[in-house]
Amino acid sequence: MFKLPPFARLGVLVLGAGVAVGILATTSSLPVVSSGVSAATPPRSTPTPAPWFDMNVASADLSFKMPRSMPAGAPPIRGLAGILVDLDTGEILWAKQPDLELAPASLTKVLTALVALENFSPDQAVTITSSALGQSSADTLMHLKAGEMLTVQELLEGMLLPSGDDAASAIAVDTVGEARFVAAMNAQVAALGLDEAHFSATAGLDDPGLYASPYDLAVIAAYTYEEFPLFDQIVDSKVIDLPATAEHPAFQLHNLDALLEDYPAAVGIKPGWTGNAGACLIGMAVRGGHRLLAVLMSANYPAKLESRLFDWGFSLDGLPPLLPPAPSPSASPRA
């Protein structure tokens, strides 16, 4: 049975003793010495810490295998790109341009959640500042206000269920700062051995510097799901009620993931949409302990499409379908 390998945390030391672990640059010049006089000691370089210094980045040797020939009989999928993976064997069951780099929209928030869970305790308190807010009214929001105090877990719930862009911003801006957090996101991508993704923000709004392939998103999602049960619990919830406290009002958070309604064996993960990305979805389903994960990008009604992919994927393992047969195309009318 395929299982994600254990990971080692890459400790990154703060600028200090002249040692830095991670991506370091040295910017020093040779000391000026008078003509004919040798320097008493060799010049020392001044190490500059990586922009994500003192943050944890997890490494793992995780990859999916492309078979010599794909299983036959997959349902037709009209999305631009995608992948279906058997997480128990590590084998790709279906793929369509899996290495194509596309706008990932709110699928970005899976990586945001991974970096947050690697670095912050779920009960760590975060005070919301105006610097983290100011999103457009057209954005999906948790509806945070400056001065409120929430835990990291509550912000994750507000980011992953209603896809709150304000929660995604606050979990970076109001902890270590957005630039440092985003740098850790890209360091995390590299530590997982991925090179078809780059992130410029935590929420996923369209930006030329924000892109990812279905394959890379599948690895990020599989790793996060395997390593953090809290993430699994959140994305599998249809509704989470946060009671009012002295620090914040009550929130009722509804999951936007239609896959939880469309496919009985679904355990969620994350949908997304922007004008550039179109509709996209990372989905996961479990039947009898057998786990399948799918990513569809730029696909209309991705939850419906992934439901069909999952039913077909489980049929390869001898499991009966959970969905009624797809309707046959109607015959062309006669003149």
Residue 89 has pLDDT above 70, yes or no: yes
The model's pLDDT over 62-83, given as tens digits with 9 standing for 90+, comes to 999 999 999 999 999 999 999 9
Range of the domain at 112: 57-64+77-315
Report percent pLDDT > 70 for the chain.
83
Question: Could you tell me if residue 32 is inside a domain?
Answer: no
Using CA atoms, how far apart are residues 215 and 293, in angstroms rounded to an integer? 11
Measured over the CA atoms of residue 236, residue 239, residue 243 and residue 249, the dihedral's sign is positive
**Please, are residues 75 and 304 in contact by the beta-carbon 8 Å criterion?**
no
- 53 pLDDT tier (thresholds 50, 70, 90): confident
Averaged pLDDT for residues 226-254: 98
10-19, 147-156, 311-320: the lowest-pLDDT one: 10-19
Question: Could you tell me if residue 2 is inside a domain?
Answer: no
Half-sphere exposure of 276 (CA within 13 A, CB side): 14
**Please, are residues 63 and 216 in contact by the beta-carbon 8 Å criterion?**
no
- Consecutive H or E run containing 182: helix 178-191
Tokens for 46, please give them. 């001044």
Question: Could you tell me if residue 188 is inside a domain?
Answer: yes
Q: Identity (one letter) of the amino acid at 154?
A: E
Residue 276 has pLDDT above 70, yes or no: yes
Task: Report the CATH number at residue 271.
Answer: 3.40.710.10
Structurally, the chain folds into a number of domains equal to 1
Using CA atoms, how far apart are residues 193 and 4, in angstroms rounded to an integer? 14
Using CA atoms, how far apart are residues 78 and 76, in angstroms rounded to an integer? 7
Query: What positions carry a catalytic annotation?
Result: 106, 109, 163
Tokens 């206000």 sit on residue: 145
Question: Could you tell me if residue 268 is inside a domain?
Answer: yes
Residue 331 has pLDDT above 80, yes or no: no
- 17 pLDDT tier (thresholds 50, 70, 90): very low
**Please, are residues 272 and 280 in contact by the beta-carbon 8 Å criterion?**
yes
Tokens 């210094």 sit on residue: 53
Question: Could you tell me if residue 332 is inside a domain?
Answer: no
> Which residue in 242, 306, 239, 224 sits closest to 271, CA to CA?
306
Residue 127 has pLDDT above 70, yes or no: yes
Distances (CA, A) of 221 to 43, 192, 235: 46, 11, 11
pLDDT of residue 62: 94
Tokens for 291, please give them. 């786990």
The model's pLDDT over 94-107, given as tens digits with 9 standing for 90+, comes to 999 999 999 999 99
Question: Could you tell me if residue 272 is inside a domain?
Answer: yes
Q: For every residue of 79-110, which 3-state class applies, written as one string?
A: CCEEEEEECCCCEEEEEECCCCCECCHHHHHH
What is the DSSP annotation of 41-73? S-----EE--TTTT--EEE-----BPPSSPPS-
Question: Could you tell me if residue 11 is inside a domain?
Answer: no
pLDDT of residue 326: 80
Give the pTM: 0.84
Q: What does the mean pLDDT of the chain come to?
A: 87
Using CA atoms, how far apart are residues 235 and 292, in angstroms rounded to an integer? 15
Question: Could you tell me if residue 269 is inside a domain?
Answer: yes
Report percent pLDDT > 90 for the chain.
80
pLDDT of residue 7: 39
